[in-house]
Every structure is written in structure tokens, then in C-alpha cells.
Structure 1
Amino acid sequence: MRRTATGMLLVMAAIFVASSHYLHVHPAVGFVRAFAEAAMVGGLADWFAVTALFRHPLGLPIPHTAIIPENKDRIADTMAQFLRDNFLTPTVVARRMQEMNLARAVGDYLATPSDSASGGSRIRAGAAELLAEFLESLDPERLGTQVRGGLKALAERVEVAPLLGQMLDAAIADRRHLPLIDAAIRWTGITLEANEDMVRQIIHERANAIVRWTGLDERLANSVIDGLYKLLAEVLVDPAHPLRTKLDEGLVSLASDLRQDEKLRAKVEQAKRDLLDNPAVADWWLGVWERLRASLIAAARDGNGAMSGQLGQSIAELGATLQQDTRLQAQINRFARRTAVGIATRYGGQIVQLVSETVRRWDARTVTDRIEGAVGRDLQFIRMNGTLVGGLVGVTIHALDMLL
């Protein structure tokens, strides 16, 4: 556009020179010459005006030229003030936010089917990567120690004995303890079977020499072991067995003591503190935390893993909820509006100060190039229009001169 405007000016100059040599040929040539002459004047005047905005014409330090570079600091302050007065006032922000359904827009974005190019997929991948990087940035030992300390402090504040008593009472009332008793009986039978030789050896060592000499110790051991097997089998198959009744009575008594017996409660609390202070428990927790952290990082980085699918599904469900729940939309929009107004009120001055300081830090050439690049095409139209309008004014003046 600059070359076009300059070309028009040169064309007018050429027409002016040519028409000056042919004035005697025809009176109409005078109109052509008047048009070209006035067009040159108009084009040069507008070229000077446009150029004077951004630089000194022809490099000459003419007063009131290079207006923008010379006044960039004042322009920066004016831009900042304009931004503050017209965009970052709480009233304007609140009115603009009132017209927006931000929650519905977010819901539409999140509910997009999660193909590779969709927003939901990008958010899912970004959230998973953010989680992985966050977990990797943590100091495993330090965080594990902190979490362990928090759990320990929480456990120390909770009295375990009454809680165990209540849980045992509830289990007995609902008969949920019976499978545990059956499992304990089966475990006892399996343990006895695995240690039969040890039981025989104990009976053999406790028997006197006469019993051993007669071989009665072996028969006694067989009788004891067979009796134990029979007792365990009877207890297992007979729900009304007296031993089961004794076990139930013992559990009921234990539950009551856990809630009411101060000595037992003190022993349980001491055992809890000893367990929490045991270094082996601390090492165990650090190992558990490190394995959990590693598995979470691997799951987050696995694009086809369960975590990725769960994140995608959760994001889609959140989007659908935001699309359909008008009450939730109203709450989120109200929160967003209050947040935006609060930011404008509290940080509006800092935002416009940032704009002002940024423009101030630009050198004069940067400011000139950016503004001229933004409006330069229209500025060259001003030069072209000035050339044409000047020519028309010149023709008008020439015609009036001939008439008068």
C-alpha cells in the first residue's frame, strides 16, 4: 500500500510535467495540469502528516514530528488509563460476566467425545501428566515421613479400645464374627497337622521312662492328636457346640472390657503407642508409600491405562453435569463473576501498571513498528485519498478561476 500511494504521487508528478508542455494544445489540458498539481500537493501533505506520526520526514528534526516515538511514555499511560476506566472497573466486569454462561460453555467443552483432537482428551492427558510430574517432584522420604507423622498424630488422638469394643459388639450382634471363628478353627487344624511331629516330641519328652519303655507315649500322643482333631471337627460342624458358646461369651466379655475396663484400655493404648513408635512400622510405611507413588506415576503416564479411562470418563461426566444442572451453573457463574470482580478490584491497578510498564520498556522503533503495522494499511489509504481529493479540489479551483 505504501508503494501504491507513492506510485500515485509519482504519476501525478509525471502528469503535471507532461501537461505543462501541452497547455497550448487545448484548454482541457489546463484542467489536467490543475488536477495533477493539486494532487501532488494533497499527496505530499498527507505523506508528511502520516510520516510525522512515526518518524521525522526525510530524517529532518522538524518540530511536532515523530509524534508516537517522542510520546510513547505518555501513550503508555493513556492506554493504561483507558484500560482501567473502560474494561477493568468492577461494574463493567460484573455486567460482562452477567451476560456469560461460563459454566455451560465449560460443560460443552468437557463433554466433547474424547477423540484425539478433542478438548476432553487434551485435558485428560494434561491432568494425567500434571499428576505424574507432581508425584515425581515430591521427595519420597520427606513426604512419607510427613504423612506418617500426620497419621501417627491422628492415631494418637483416637482411643482405640472403645472403638474396637463397639466394632466387636456390632459384629457379634449381626453374627458377622462366625466366619472368623470358623476360619480360626480351620487354621488351628491346619497348624496342628503341620506340627504333629512337634506335638509327639513334646509328649515323648514329658513322659517318664517307664511309659517310654513300654511304648505308651506313642499311643498317648496319637490319642491326644486324634482327640484334638475330633474336637475341632465337632466345633466346626456344630453351631451349638459348648466351646462355641464359651467363645461367644468370651468375645462379649472382651467387647465389654474394651469399652469399660480402664486397665485393659490402658494396655491397648500402650500397645498402640509401642506399635506407632516401632521403626519397623515406619520403614514399612515408607515402602508402601513409595510403591503407591510409583504405581500412580505409571498409571498416569499410561495413555491406555485404567487411570486414563477414569479421568476421561470423569471429565465427560463433569461436562454433562455442567450442561444439564442449571442450579450448578448458577452457582459456578456467580462464583466466577465474584472472582473476576474481586480480581478487577484488587489487581486492576497492577494489571494496567503492567501494560504501562511494558509499553514504556519498548524502544521507540518497536512502538512505531507495532502501531504502524496495525493501522498502516489505512494510513496509506489516507495518502491515496489525499492525492485524489487534492486533485479534485485543484480542478474545482481552476474551473472557478476560469469562470471568474
Structure 2
Amino acid sequence: MHPFPKLIKQLDQSADQLQRARLRTMQAIAAGLLLVAALLFVLAHTQRASHPAWGYLEAFAEAAMVGAIADWFAVVALFRHPLGIPIWHTAIIPNSKDQIGRSLGAFVENHFITEQGVAERIAQADPAQLLGNWLRQPDHAKQLGQSSAGVLRQLLGMLDHEQMRRLVQEKATSYLGELNLSSVAADSLDALIADGKPDDMLDFLLDKCAAYLEDESHHDTIGDFALGAFKIDNALLRRALKAYQPRMIASLLDYTVAIGIDRQHPMREKIAGWIADSALHLKADEHWQATVRHYQLQALASDKVQTMLGELWDTASARLLADLNSEQPALAATIARLAENTGKVLADDAKARDWLNGAIVKGSSSLVRRYRGEVGDFIEAQLARWTREQMSDRIELAIGRDLQFIRINGTVVGGLAGLLIYTITQLL
């Protein structure tokens, strides 16, 4: 058993024992007063003939006994049958156990768990201020960061990583599949055009093309590409084209360099037009959009992309776990800084406190509206688990000691009333 529940149980038992001892003490005092009244009555009755004063004492003692016995009956009748005799309207609490449970649940529900009551209590407590004062302490913020890191480390150890891997892969695929890639590409092209970036991109591509054409190791590849593009099968023509291959590549290189040098080259204007037209087509041309969509879904369905998406969780969890297992986790420090800054904001900014308190009040009101009916049912169900004897015993322990004062008061007040009546009788 966990030590805390065991300790709580021991404390409850100790409190019950103390309450029982105090109850028995008060019961003994009340019974003792009844016994004293009985002894006084016997003494006064036997000595009554010797002096008129004994009559007054006899009347006091007799009425005191009556009051003590009547109040004893009234107190005992709340919890059990007096002397075990099932007299009508006795053992009131055990016989009314279910009604008491319903009434107590309804009373708590209607008079304690109310939206206004909870809101007023939250306003008085000012939880935002308390939270801010606590979080702004560096030690508290550090403790929160370390605790959060520890909890997260345990959660990572408890997770089914294969299930998480599939979940992340499915969610990423779904998100990327819903992404309107045509719109994103069109917006990107518009932004590039607005910032004058197409020229920079063209310069970059021209430099790369020139470098590729200058590299002689690529010349055979370029020649083979040209032969394939023109679909030349005649051996004579193939040899002729091969012979002109250096001049063709040199011409391409010159043309590429010329475009790069001349900022007003006609090809630059054509390329800029192609880019602008592409942006328009991506926005409005359904055929273009369908084509982009087709290739987008085709790419997502490829084994390579699916494997990459499946590795997202492994990569993220491995990096996070490596950080959490380090001596000074960066995540813990980040949470601590965030907590301390939040505490400073809440402690210094009244508007932030009002907002948070308002959010707590709104959330608590929603909870009250949703669950207040269950509070009464919960109390009634808990009391229904007790037997009639258990409920009677618990209530008697809680208020029985104070009820013994009724017996004591009944003894004293009854005796004084009897003495008053006897005195008036004698005077008349």
C-alpha cells in the first residue's frame, strides 16, 4: 500500500478514537448528573419531614431527573431505539438514511455548488496573482521545468512507438494531401516577382548551366541527349552530329553567358513572362491545378516519401529523449524560462491577471453547469454505500458530544423549573 493513503487512514482512525473518547466523557458527565439528581431526590425525600427546605431540594431533584431522562430519550432516539425498544419515531437517522442522502446532496448542489458562489470564491482567491507570485521565483520555475521534463520522459517511455509512428505518418500524409500546392506555388511566385527575385534565380541557374557546359566530362552526356532528342538512327548523321558536338556546346555556352551578362536580353523578358504566366495558370487553370494535384498525390504515395514521413516520429522522439536524458535538458530550461517569464507577466500586469482570472471563472462556471447535477448524485451514492448503523455512528461521532449538552441542560433546567413550580405552589 502506498504510504500516504495508509497514513491518512491512520489519522482518520486516530481522529475517530479521539471523538469517541470525548463523546463517552460527555455521556458519563450527563449520566453522572442524573445519578446525582437521583441521590439528592432520595436524600431529600427521606429528610423532608425534618425541615421544609428539604421539600425544595426534593422538587429540584425530581424535576431534574425528569428533564434528564426526557432529554436522554430525545438524544438517543435520533440514533437508535432507546433500550432497544422499537418505539415509534425513534432511530430517526438510521431510518431516514436514504432521505438524508438525497437532501444533503440537493442542499450542497443548490446552495454550495453554484456559479455565483464559485465565481466569488475564485475572485477572492485571485489565482492568477498566486500563480504569478509562485512562478516568478526562479527555484519554482526550475522545479516546474525539471518536473515537466521528468513527466515527459516517462510518457515517452510508456508510448507505443510503432503506433505513434503510424499515427504521425498518417497525419502528415493527410495534411500534405490536403495542402493546395497550386495555390502555395502561385503565392510563392507572386512573392518572388514582387521582390524582384526571378532575375536572381535566373542568374543562379545560368551560372550553373554555364559551369555544366564548361565541364568536358558532361559533353558526351549532352551529345547523347541531343541524339536521343532528335531520334537520329542514321550512322552517318550521328557521326556528323558528334563532329559538331563541340561547336554546339560552345554555342550553347556563349548563349547562356550572353543572357547572364545582358540584363536587357530578350530571353530574360520571355522567362519573366513565363514565370508570371505560370503563376496565373496555377491560380486559375484547372488543368494545371489537376496536373499539380496528380503529381502531388503520386509523390506522396511513393515508397520513398512514405518512408521519410514514417521516420519523422523516430527522429523527433530520439532527439527529444536524448535531450531529456542529458544532465541539463534544454527542454527543462526552456520550460523554466517560459514559466518564470509568465510569472513576471502575471505578477506585474493587471490586465493579464484579469484575463486569466476571467478565463478560470468562465471555465469553472461551465464545469458547474455541466457537473453540478452529478455532485448531488455523488453524495447520495456515497452515503448509500454506508449501512444505517454506519451513518448513525458517523453522525453521532460528529455531533453527539454537543448533543450531550442537551441532556446536561435538561437536567439543570428541569431541576430549576421544578424548583420554581414548587416555590410558587408553596407561596400560594
2:274 is the counterpart of 1:257:
yes
Give the letter aligned to residue 95 of structure 2: E
User: C-alpha separation between the residues in 1 aligned to 2:264 and 2:296?
Assistant: 25
| 1:12–1:37 CA contact under 8 A, matched in 2 | no
TM-score by length of 2: 0.64
1:306 is aligned to 330
* CA deviation vs aligned residue, 1:151-199 (integer Å, no higher than 9, x gap): 32134544565355345546754987699789979x98xxx8xxx9x79
Over the aligned positions, Cα root-mean-square deviation in angstroms equals 4.9
**Gap runs ≥5 in structure 2:** 1-21, 222-245, 247-252, 282-286
State the 1:61 CA deviation: 1.1
Letter in 1 for 2:128: V
Report the more deviating stretch, 355-364 or 12-21.
12-21
Question: Which of 255, 261, 285 is matched with 1:245 structurally?
Answer: 261
Matches within 5 A, 1:276-355: 276-296=300-320, 299=323, 304-355=328-379
Report the counterpart of residue 398 of structure 2 in structure 1.
374
Q: How far 1:397 sits from its partner (Å)?
A: 4.0
Partner Cα separation in structure 1 for residue 95 and residue 139 of structure 2: 48
Letter in 1 for 2:101: A
Q: What amino acid does structure 2 have at the position aligned with 1:79?
A: L
Compared CA separation, residues 175 and 121, structure 1 to 2 (3 A) = farther
* Alignment check: 8 A CA contact 2:97 2:388 kept: yes
One-letter identity of the residue aligned with 2:130: D
Q: 1:81 aligns with which of 106, 123, 145?
A: 106
Partner of 2:28 in structure 1? 7
The 8 Å contact of residues 148 and 282 in structure 1, kept in 2 or not, is answered as: no
Q: Percent identity?
A: 27
- Residues paired across the two proteins, number: 362
CA contact 1:111–1:318 (8 Å) conserved in 2: no
In structure 2, give the amino acid aligned to 1:41.
Answer: V
Question: How many angstroms does 1:67 deviate by?
Answer: 0.5
Distance 1:65 1:176 in 2: 99
- In the other structure, the counterpart of 2:155 is 133
Aligned with residue 46 of structure 1, among 64, 71, 77: 71
Does the C-alpha gap of structure 1 residues 84 and 60 become closer, same or farther in structure 2, counting only changes over 3 Å? same
The one-letter code matched in structure 2 to 1:3 is: R
CA 1:175/1:119 → structure 2, altered by over 3 Å: closer, same or farther? Answer: same
Deviation at 1:50, TM superposition (A): 1.5
**Inter-partner Cα distance in structure 2 for 1:81 and 1:128:** 42
1:119 and 1:379 mapped to 2: Cα distance? 51
CA drift at 1:298: 5.5
Are 1:365 and 2:389 counterparts?
yes
> Quick one: which amino acid aligns to residue 71 of structure 1?
S
Shift of 1:85: 3.9
Give the Å deviation of 1:55.
1.5
Q: Distance in 1 between matches of 2:203 and 2:143?
A: 47
Letter matched to residue 388 of structure 1 = V
Distance in 1, Cα, partners of 2:325 & 2:61: 73
Does the residue aligned with 1:101 lie in a helix, a strand or coil?
A: helix
Q: AA paired with 2:151?
A: E
User: Could you say which residue in structure 1 is the equivalent of 2:176?
Assistant: 152
Tell me what 1:212 maps to: none
Q: Distance in 1 between matches of 2:356 and 2:151?
A: 26
- Relative distance call for 1:336 and 1:164 in structure 2 (3 A) is closer
Q: 1:309 to 1:123 in 2, by over 3 A?
A: closer
Counterpart of 1:362 in 2: which secondary structure? coil
Task: Using the TM superposition, give the Cα deviation of residue 326 of structure 1 relative to its aligned residue in structure 2, in angstroms.
Answer: 4.1
Name the SS of the counterpart of 1:140 in structure 2: helix
Provide Cα deviations, 1:280-329, integer angstroms capped at 9, x if missing partner.
Answer: 12111221222213433565677942222222332333344344444444
Letter in 2 for 1:20: V
Deviation at 1:102, TM superposition (A): 7.4
**SS state at 1:310 partner:** helix
Does the 8 Å CA contact 1:54/1:67 hold for their aligned counterparts?
Answer: yes
Unaligned runs of 5+ residues in structure 1 are: 203-223, 225-230, 232-240
Q: Would the alpha carbon gap of residues 53 and 264 (structure 1) be closer, same or farther in structure 2, given more than 3 Å must change? A: closer
- CA drift of 1:49 comes to 1.3
